[in-house]
Structure 1
Amino acid sequence: MTTIGILGSGQVGRTLARAAVVHGYDVVISNSRGPHTLSPLIHDLGPRARAAHAHDAAASGDLVVLAFPYAPTDRLPAEALAGKVVVDTNNYMAWRDGAITAVETGAKTIHELRQEMLPNAKVVKAFTHVQHHPPTGLGPEDVPDALPGLFRLARPRGAWDRRALAVSSDYPEAVELVSALYDELGYDAVDNSPLSESWRSAPGTPMWRHHVDGQTRAQLVANLQHAVHPSRSHRSPS
């Protein structure tokens, strides 16, 4: 893997683009407004990055990142994504995106719905519980630590305080690829597959309480196991 395509240039897309460039990857990034609007970002990222339309970014990436929320009406470059590992960084937030009945009832996870939207791609939920923006409420004394969580929490392999990130997919090869990328960026991986189990790392679950400062691999494993499925959490006490 040498090139990462990124669809979306908000905080998630920009932060992952910076991380990829730092670690020697080429980046092709797109947004909904057109490549010309990304000139300042590309200048900042340097020669390893270029802007493109969504189809070109999808076609160019050995791995492709979807850095925007899910919507049932999304029109994605499905042909360009066919056969590729597609990282879905989205978290389901009904207050932001509107309620989706299948997710609210626990019948489907938001990432299963994305997989259905891209039946020939290998969708993997990743990078969803690490912050892609600096911590809020910083004073001048905190400026040295004013980095997005993805950078601030990274640790070398074997460090006693290394954090872990969950990864979920219906494709073992996608889990393997993303786990290797996690390791390269400074994180252990916890396989929380398949996509039907990805609700365990959704906002509001036990592991989510640690998304600001992270958690070790053992802590993440335990927190994933302690999650309560939405279909049960919505029941009234008997």
Structure 2
Amino acid sequence: MGERTRTGITDAGAPPRIRTLGIIGAGRVGQVLARLAIAAGHRVLVAGSGDPARIAGTIEAVAPGAVAVEASVAARDADAIVLALPLPQHHTLPAEDLRGKLAIDAMNYWWEVDGLRADFGDLRTTTSETVQRFLPETRVVKAFNHMGYRDLDEEARPVGSPGRKAIAVAGDDEASVALVMRLVDDLGFDPVLAGPLAAGIMLEPGAEAFGADVDAIELRAMLDRFPTSQRGIMVARARAAG
């Protein structure tokens, strides 16, 4: 029998593992992650922007076994919660229910859709750090944002498969990062540690790793090249000036 800990559920002698995964955001990314998590044996709770009945049929069709719930229920009842809603809507998250929780930020800033936003476009910080400031008592980890939803859907492979693709993870809390890296592995990808939450800048639009559908060796190389890339130089200048 597993024992519940502050970082999830752990089986005796095994690394900690997320058992119940909440997903707030029922769009394409949320649907794909729900399907992958169900296939990996996780209990999955999915919340949209309104009445769960509106998405229940879709969720059952794309991820049989996943349950449509309200956002507050997903936040309260899950061991970890993927944030897969449009980034400007992060302020609608149930902050009180997310207190003390692990939130996996899979959101991106799309200026063409979201409009020009100084808070999201400021290279002195990252969008995940903006989310962390809104959720100061939540452990925010960046993951699942830099690979397109079609690649997420099609590229999941068992551990050890030749050419298995990689997902980068960035976060400040070591135990939370370890849990997310285990989840990445469970869902069919090799986890690559990007660094602290501030390193999430290397996974955002404009960085080489954004959109990457590559293995762990190549993803690691992309992250290592970031400081000398055009984007990396722009970030360094902004942060030095700031």
Q: TM-score range by the shorter chain?
A: 0.7 to 0.9
Amino acid paired to 1:230: M
Amino acid paired to 1:179: M
Tell whether 2:236 aligns with 1:219. Answer: no
Tell whether 2:125 aligns with 1:128. Answer: no
Distance in 2, Cα, partners of 1:229 & 1:104: 15
Amino acid paired to 2:170: S
Deviates more, 1:167-176 or 1:225-234: 225-234
CA RMSD of aligned residues (A): 2.0
Matched residue SS, 1:81: coil
Match of 1:95 among 101, 108, 112: 112
Equivalence for 1:175: 177
Distance in 1, Cα, partners of 2:154 & 2:180: 20
Equivalence for 1:230: 234
Equivalence for 1:153: 155
Distance in 2, Cα, partners of 1:52 & 1:103: 29
Equivalence for 2:164: 162
Classify 1:105/1:230 alpha carbon distance in 2 versus 1 (closer, same or farther; 3 Å).
farther
Distance in 1, Cα, partners of 2:185 & 2:44: 19
Match of 2:78 among 55, 61, 65: 61
Show CA shifts across 1:114-170 (max 9, x none). 0111111111111112221xxxxxxxxxxxxxxx31132122222331211110111
5+ residue gaps in structure 1? Answer: 133-147
Equivalence for 1:36: 53
Residues 90 and 131 in structure 2, CA contact (< 8 A), matched pair in contact too? no
Query: TM-score under structure 2 normalisation?
Result: 0.82
Residues 105 and 231 in structure 1, CA contact (< 8 A), matched pair in contact too? no
Tell whether 2:23 aligns with 1:6. Answer: yes
Amino acid paired to 2:23: I
Amino acid paired to 1:205: A
Equivalence for 1:24: 41
Offset of residue 194 of structure 1: 1.0
Classify 1:117/1:231 alpha carbon distance in 2 versus 1 (closer, same or farther; 3 Å).
same
Offset of residue 36 of structure 1: 1.2
Amino acid paired to 1:83: G
Offset of residue 231 of structure 1: 3.4
Distance in 2, Cα, partners of 1:177 & 1:151: 21
Equivalence for 2:191: 189
Amino acid paired to 1:199: I
Deviates more, 1:148-157 or 1:69-78: 69-78
Offset of residue 99 of structure 1: 2.4
Residues 166 and 191 in structure 1, CA contact (< 8 A), matched pair in contact too? yes
Residues 47 and 69 in structure 2, CA contact (< 8 A), matched pair in contact too? yes
Offset of residue 87 of structure 1: 0.7
Tell whether 2:223 aligns with 1:206. Answer: no
Deviates more, 1:3-12 or 1:225-234: 225-234
Residues 140 and 171 in structure 2, CA contact (< 8 A), matched pair in contact too? yes
5+ residue gaps in structure 2? Answer: 1-17, 227-231
Residues 154 and 186 in structure 1, CA contact (< 8 A), matched pair in contact too? yes
Post-superposition, which runs of at least 4 consecutive aligned residues in structure 1 deviate over 3 A? 229-234
Match of 1:104 among 95, 109, 121: 121
